[in-house]
Structure 1
Amino acid sequence: MSTQPSLLVQLVTRTHLVTQILVGMVLGIILALVAPEAARATGFVGTLFISGLKAVAPVLVFILVMSAIANHKQGQPTQIKSILLLYLVGTFLAALVAVAASFLFPTKLALVQPAVEASAPGGIWEVLKSLLVSVFANPVRAILDGNFIGILAWAAGLGVALRSGAESTRLLIADLAHGVTAIVRLVIRLAPIGVFGLVASTVAEAGLDVLLGYARLLAVLVGAMLFMALVVNPAIVFFMTRRNPYPLVFTCLRESGLTAFFTRSSAANIPVNLQLCERLRLHEDTYSVAIPLGATINMGGAAITIGVMTLAAAHTLGIQVDLPTAFLLCVVSALSAAGASGVAGGSLLLIPLATSLFGIPAEVAMQVVAIGFVISIVQDSVETALNSSTDVLFTAAACIAAERRG
């Protein structure tokens, strides 16, 4: 009897975390089908897991970025410029994919849902202004609110300032970074239990019947996101690295996209992505900044959602969309996506911004948003998986390309 706990511990430690997550997912589905009431109760476990990730992410990003910059050695290269360019290009290409998919497979909506009471941005300037205001947020408030733009700005500023500080101060910050990272590892080890609770409660509450009425819309959305993940992104990585991109693509999808699918939050998945970058042996000074930055502005999945839902509304109302307007929609979708919050459903409230290009009334636009919330159980999960896994993918591609050139 005394050996049983040790055997269990050995089994857990020797089994890959992704395998454990898959087991938790399967067990969650079984529980939802066999005992729906018990499955609903497990939702609390999933909520705790997401709360844990969201709690550690702002502190982790603040300490890690500050430590990386403060302890950065002169002449040590980083690839932030290349990664930022990849983020921008990838998001714009995702918007192009969304427009192409919507023209190839036009979809109409049944606009019968009541309008959603929510506040949507009134224009691109409002989105950009909001991002700019976030930069100058109070640092304590930025950490409390999970404002990663503000966190990055303050961490970078303090990191630069402390580069001329005492060696003991920089070592203290580095030790803090290691300590927070250890806590993050503990939280991530609980992912199988968290996913079990999330899957069980979601399947028990929503089921799949609610999605059947929007099967075509979901097919276009998910199809466009899969095309982006399995065709466009690998092409970008191949262009950067000149090697077979698919081993890296599948690693990122499996180890980052899987957890992001269930957490449905790019911000909550930051600790997972940082751990994956560490396992991929990427440059810490690069990924410690690139990953939280990607969780804020690298939103290819959001661009696809905005584009597809907007054109679905246009097709429903019989609005003819010419090529120049479609291109303008790509630009608006890409810029709007960069302003999408890193939480579940963050891209949906940006749909009215894009529909305004076609003169679609706000009341109709918010009905489209309502449909988005109905299908978000699948749409937002796949969107976040694409967004978050691409953060690691592009960061790794830039680092590999730099090694190849060097």
Structure 2
Amino acid sequence: MEVKKINFLKSYSSILLLLGGITVGSIFGLVFKEKVEVVKPIGDIFLNLLFTAIIPLIFFTIASSIASLERTEKLGKLFVIMIAVFLSTVLISGIVMIIAVYIFPIHQNVIISKVPLENIQSGSIGDQIAQLLTVNDFFELLSRKSMLALIIFSFLIGFASLQSGEKGSAFRSFLDSGNEVMKQLLNMIMKLAPIGLGAYFAYQVGVFGPQLFGIYAKPLGVYYGACVFYFFVFFSLYAFVAGGKRAFKVFWTNNITPSLTAVGTCSSIATIPANLDAAEKMGIPKHVRNLVIPLGAPLHKDGSSMSSILKITFLFAMFGKDFTSPSTILLALGITVIVSIVEGGIPNGGYIGEVLAITVYGLPMEQALPVAMILGTLVDPIATLLNANGDVISSMLVSRFAEKTKW
């Protein structure tokens, strides 16, 4: 009995410390409210350390994963399955949210709150796509704002080293070695997580907590309820599809740390290390997890899909527009797919999705955008939970369909 107790404490010590830090931080936020802003820099330091290490991690994980593939045909198959899984889960999450807002319709007056707006870049669609997918100088790849460009570059480097044959073997070894070094660095940084996330939770609860009970209470209640339902019911269903009861057990016993990290940081990118570690413990093949999870962080977002539906329906209610026509719903689903691809993986990163929806539906930007931004901030924690955890469950599905993995 004593041995089991010791093993339990050893196995779950990091999770218990993380829960302890988050609990203490939340209590501080409730008690001291806005005064907890003084501890926000502690959370920022932890998050900045994570973000600094994330860029090389993504490069090495993707490049080394592709470089280690035995056949180029395997890469094509893996990509097709991954895209199919990403697209399917994003659409399913959007449909779940549409059903939720039909069951619990949002009808209320909204007070327009003024918040600082980000500068929205203007230009043709082609120019914006070019800026999204590429950069015009190498050093710009080192910014997390150029995440898609970095991923494409990492993919090309991995593929080039794969094609180089024997002459590229030393470089492939370098990529593999760099991947291992970055994993160890992130393990070191994650030891600070109980303090860093505790400070961040204190700030989130103290500053944004009161708004949850204001005019946004009903839409937030619908959103959080739908997300909790989707998280437990659909993620469990996906796990069963990936491998029955064994996969179900493997998923729910290994996703605690990624879940807490996602909620605490409000960043899919910052959750990549925890996701990779969880995927490794789940037994997902290295080349699958090192490809799906880093790619999923900026490209695959179930939570953002659901939040875009919420924002659209909320704005429709605000301006007295009808959300029931099939064309409106199909257009909303199309927007959710685009939002999932173009929104960044950083906290409250970018408002491209909001601007797109407001523009497409012809709503007044100066009135609609502040409301959408406030909603985006308030739903960010649980949206990130679905975004980040969705990458883990997607890697299980891809592993099952591509590699016939059994747990």
TM-score, structure 2 as length reference: 0.86
Query: C-alpha distance in 1, partners of 2:51/2:109?
Result: 34
* 1:260-299 superposed Cα distances (whole Å, 9 cap, x missing partner): 1010111111122112112222111121121111011111
Cα 1:172–1:350 change in 2 (3 A) is closer
Question: Is 1:261 matched with 2:258?
Answer: no
Query: Which residue of structure 1 lines up, in the alignment, with residue 14 of structure 2?
Result: 17
Runs of at least 5 residues in structure 1 that lack an aligned partner in the other structure: 1-9
After alignment, is 381-390 or 72-81 more displaced? 72-81
Query: C-alpha distance in 1, partners of 2:225/2:401?
Result: 29
Query: C-alpha distance in 1, partners of 2:339/2:12?
Result: 41
Query: Which residue of structure 1 lines up, in the alignment, with residue 4 of structure 2?
Result: none
Query: C-alpha distance in 1, partners of 2:351/2:63?
Result: 33
Runs of at least 5 residues in structure 2 that lack an aligned partner in the other structure: 1-6
Give the AA of the match of 1:320: D
Question: Is 1:177 matched with 2:174?
Answer: no
Q: CA deviation at 1:81?
A: 2.4
Question: Is 1:324 matched with 2:327?
Answer: yes
Contact 1:142–1:151 (CA under 8 A) maintained in structure 2:
yes
Match of 2:28 among 6, 14, 31: 31
Matches within 5 A, 1:233-382: 233-243=235-245, 246-251=248-253, 253-321=255-323, 322-346=325-349, 348-372=351-375, 376-377=377-378, 379-382=379-382
After alignment, is 218-227 or 244-253 more displaced? 244-253
Contact 1:98–1:304 (CA under 8 A) maintained in structure 2:
yes
Structure 2 SS opposite 1:42:
helix
Q: CA deviation at 1:44?
A: 1.7
Matches within 5 A, 1:202-221: 202-206=204-208, 208-213=209-214, 214-221=216-223
Give the AA of the match of 1:25: I
Matches within 5 A, 1:76-91: 77=74, 79-91=78-90
Cα 1:295–1:38 change in 2 (3 A) is same
Cα 1:159–1:145 change in 2 (3 A) is same
Give the AA of the match of 1:362: M
Query: C-alpha distance in 2, partners of 1:131/1:53?
Result: 27
After alignment, is 165-174 or 84-93 more displaced? 165-174
Give the AA of the match of 1:97: V
Q: CA deviation at 1:222?
A: 1.0
Contact 2:254–2:282 (CA under 8 A) maintained in structure 1:
no
Query: Which residue of structure 2 lines up, in the alignment, with residue 3 of structure 1?
Result: none
* 1:140-179 superposed Cα distances (whole Å, 9 cap, x missing partner): 3112344221112111212222232343332233222211
Query: Which residue of structure 1 lines up, in the alignment, with residue 386 of structure 2?
Result: 386
Query: C-alpha distance in 2, partners of 1:152/1:221?
Result: 31
Q: CA deviation at 1:60?
A: 0.7
Query: C-alpha distance in 2, partners of 1:217/1:62?
Result: 38
Structure 1 SS opposite 2:268:
coil
Give the AA of the match of 2:201: V
Q: How many residues align?
A: 391
TM-score, structure 1 as length reference: 0.86
Q: Between the two proteins, what is the percent identity of the paired residues?
A: 21
CA RMSD of aligned residues (A): 2.9
Question: Is 1:55 matched with 2:52?
Answer: yes
Q: CA deviation at 1:304?
A: 1.0
After alignment, is 113-122 or 151-160 more displaced? 113-122
Question: Is 1:186 matched with 2:188?
Answer: yes
Contact 1:119–1:349 (CA under 8 A) maintained in structure 2:
no
Cα 1:173–1:367 change in 2 (3 A) is closer
Structure 2 SS opposite 1:319:
coil
